[in-house]
Amino acid sequence: MQIIPAIDIIDGKCVRLTQGDYEQKTIYNENPLEVALEFESIGIKRLHLVDLDGAKLGKVVNYKVLEKIASKTNLSIDFGGGIKTDDDIETVFNYGADLATIGSIAIKNKPLFYSWIKKYGAEKLFLGADVKGDKIAVGGWLETTDVSIYDYIEEYLKEGIKYVFCTDISKDGLLQGPSNELYKNIITKFPQLNLTASGGVSQLSDLNELKKIGCSGAIIGKAIYEGRITMNQLKQFIKC
């Protein structure tokens, strides 16, 4: 199972929100590159970079942060937040992302998303499945739809999508453990899916449990920044 640290960006700084609430913001580091280099130094290979300004405004904003990290590290970066147009996704790839993280567009503009699958290939797209209950939420988590997580995944598996990450908003940023039952249900229904867990990881035992469930990756943020999981623990986990 791949460990994928998250760096969430507001105003060019590394922050975390609680349950997607922009009013509940904590700044952890003024320099995201510094954070990325520290992750790389312990053997991390992948980074989940989220443009929270972009998610809120509906256009890519923090592409310069992406460029800096992509040019100064060897990390494989998936970048999301505000990718709404052909120009946005082109910007993301031009500035160094290996994968584009797509959420809202896959719900709100399916023809556009299909065109990206055709143009860039399904393996270049990291499909976000953010949920409240078992319904998809979009727009930086500000809007809940009536679309079931299972219908959503099934539709895009048929289109060739291989990589999905699922965030239970009720768990995110609370350090109360991930949605293991939800992930078990998804993997049972779609055993061919590469599912990355996101949200709620608070200690090393959570990672062991997600690995046991069959998740192909785990995105971790707050637990690292608040010292619940140390860099040394991550380093040892990666070696296992």
Marked catalytic residue, from 8, 51, 53, 88 = 8
Domains of the chain, each with CATH number or no CATH: 2-233 (3.20.20.70)
pLDDT at 64 (0 to 100): 97
pLDDT value for 168: 87
Q: In this model, does residue 174 exceed pLDDT 90? A: no
Is a pLDDT exceeding 80 seen at residue 175?
no
Phi-psi region of 104 (alpha: psi -120 to 50; beta: other; left: phi over 0): alpha
Give the pLDDT confidence of 206-238 residue by residue, as tens digits: 999 999 999 999 999 989 999 999 999 999 999
Question: Does 20 or 206 have the greater pLDDT score?
Answer: 206
184 φ/ψ angles, rounded to the nearest 5 degrees: -60, -45
pLDDT of 21 strictly over 80: no
8 tagged catalytic? yes
Find the catalytic residue in 53, 78, 130, 168.
130
> Average pLDDT in the 32-45 region?
97
pTM of the model: 0.92
Got the DSSP string for 216-230?
A: SEEEE-HHHHTTSS-
Q: Is 51 a catalytic residue?
A: no
The model's pLDDT over 60-93, given as tens digits with 9 standing for 90+, comes to 999 999 999 999 999 999 999 999 999 999 999 9
Reported as a single tens digit per residue, the pLDDT across 131-170 is 988 899 876 556 788 999 999 999 999 999 999 999 888 7
126: confidence class by pLDDT, cuts 50, 70, 90: very high
Query: What tokens were used for 177?
Result: 């453990």
Measure the CA–CA gap between 240 and 237, rounded to whole angstroms.
5
Residues 85 and 106: beta-carbon distance below 8 Å: no
Tell me, what's the pLDDT at 232? 96
